[in-house]
Amino acid sequence: MTDCLFCKIGEGSVPSDTVFEDESVKVFKDIHPKAPVHLLVIPKSHVDSVMNLEPAHAEMVSSLIYAAKKIARELGLAGYKLVFNVGREGGQVIDHLHLHLLGGWSGRADNDAPLHI
């Protein structure tokens, strides 16, 4: 998609603080972190949202989760949250599928602790 920020980050025409990428996935630091570790995991191909997923996307979605798991392990996170915001009412602002990886709270003060849902 030509006018999509995360497509541009995926192809590298907009810079990002990238921690991992392969041919289909990119992982980069969220510009406004909401946890000590806050990364975004995106597919390089454009899909708007979980709402637009189809059976053909199954492998792509699992690759996002697998990339998150790999990076979390490499960062030594003892635990973490994986979050998809879905639609405006679900807090989604950017209409390119992205998985939030949030963690790194251990040893932090209570007010930095994770939200338990």
Q: How far, in Å, are 31, 41, 60, 87 from residue 56 at the CA level?
A: 30, 19, 8, 21
Q: Which of 3, 6, 12, 35 is nearest to 97 (CA)?
A: 6
Structure-block tokens of residue 117? 């849902």
Structure-block tokens of residue 68? 């998150």
Interface segment toward ligand AMP; rule CB under 6 A; list 30-38, 47-55, 57-65, 109-117: 30-38
Of all residues in the shown chain, the one whose CB is closest to ligand AMP is 85
Structure-block tokens of residue 48? 């708007």
Interface segment toward Zn ion; rule CB under 5 A; list 46-54, 74-82, 85-93, 106-114: 46-54
Nearer to ligand AMP, 30 or 45 (CB): 30
Q: How far is the CB of 10 from Zn ion (least distance, A)?
A: 7
From 32, 98, 100, 116, active-site residue: 98
Site string for ligand AMP, 74-93 (x = CB under 6 A): -----------x-----xxx
- Three-class SS of residue 28? strand
Q: Which of 114, 103, 101 is nearest to 40 (CA)?
A: 101
Nearer to ligand AMP, 8 or 69 (CB): 8
- For this structure, is 98 an active site residue? yes
Nearer to ligand AMP, 31 or 56 (CB): 31
